[in-house]
Amino acid sequence: MEFLFSNNPEIKRRTGFFAALLLWGAVLSIQGSAPLAYCEPYLRICKNGVIYYYFSSCQVNSSSQTLSGPQRTRPRPPLAPRRLSPQELEGLIQEASRCHNLPAPLVKAVIRVESNFNAAAKSPKGAQGLMQLMPDTADELMVSDPYDPRENIWGGVRYLRELLDKFNNRLHLALAAYNAGPQRVSQYQRVPPFQETQGFVYDVCTQFLKYSREQQTTNKGSLGTLSTAGINLPNNLCTLTKDQKP
């Protein structure tokens, strides 16, 4: 038994090795009689040359993304919205506009003023996406991802259609409600006296005229064909200036 208390490093190394083998054999001998957790030996060699053996009852997987809790995974950072080509965006606008009986130039005008066609846009107040939907509004419209271009456009067009129905197809009131909220428009019974809201209505109407003329040139139609959507345009739409806001 003197070798157990020897100061010789070589004897100590061999003793540790044989002790480890005996311990591992004992584990294997009882494995068939009782269920054991998975065990895996770990080997570590120190600078002084002495070998140490470690045993663990936990299996480690360095690539695992699982966190504590049932079926929870490490959240991944959100992907940046894919930038749409003008043709793709035009297709989404046309599709949603036809479904909700709105002029496509009007939808395009709202997107131009709200986000300048930036699907990742977020305002200081929290409005999100191409048509700048507020989180509560997006939830009501069942828009799960406001930064998804198709979801955002369909949600925004649906909301604009609801506002036009609420205010008897009077465009300037529907646009004011889109910006300031329908409660404010109902309160004032006109475009609320807010500079931001008045500017929004003016800018959207101006862009609406611009895109309508472009469509008229492309389709060789007339501006009057837009009235088939049942929308009552402001009387001064065709001569609108900054001093003649609706």
Q: Give the pLDDT confidence of 22-49 residue by residue, as tens digits.
A: 666 665 565 555 444 444 444 444 445 5
Question: What structural domains does the chain harbor?
Answer: 2-56 (no CATH), 86-239 (1.10.530.10)
- State if pTM tops 0.85: no
Nearest to 153 by CA among 97, 231, 201: 97
Kindly state the tokens that stand for 125.
Answer: 């107040």
Given 2, 40, 90, 114, the catalytic residue: 114
Spatial contact of 147 and 126, defined as CB atoms under 8 Å apart: no
How sure is the predictor about 69, in pLDDT bands with cuts at 50, 70 and 90?
very low
Active site includes 40?
Answer: no
- Which of 27-31, 41-45, 63-67, 95-99 shows the lowest mean pLDDT across its residues? 63-67
Distance of alpha carbon 30 from alpha carbon 96, whole angstroms: 69
- Percent of the chain's residues with pLDDT above 70: 57
- CB of 176 closer than 8 Å to CB of 197: yes
Q: How confident is the model at residue 231 (pLDDT cuts 50, 70, 90)?
A: confident
DSSP summary character for residue 35: -
Residue where the block lists tokens 């998975």: 38
The pLDDT of residue 10: 61
How much is the pLDDT for 178?
98
Amino acid at 18: F
pLDDT of 57 reads 45
CA gap 182, 184 in Å, rounded? 5
pLDDT, the chain, mean: 75
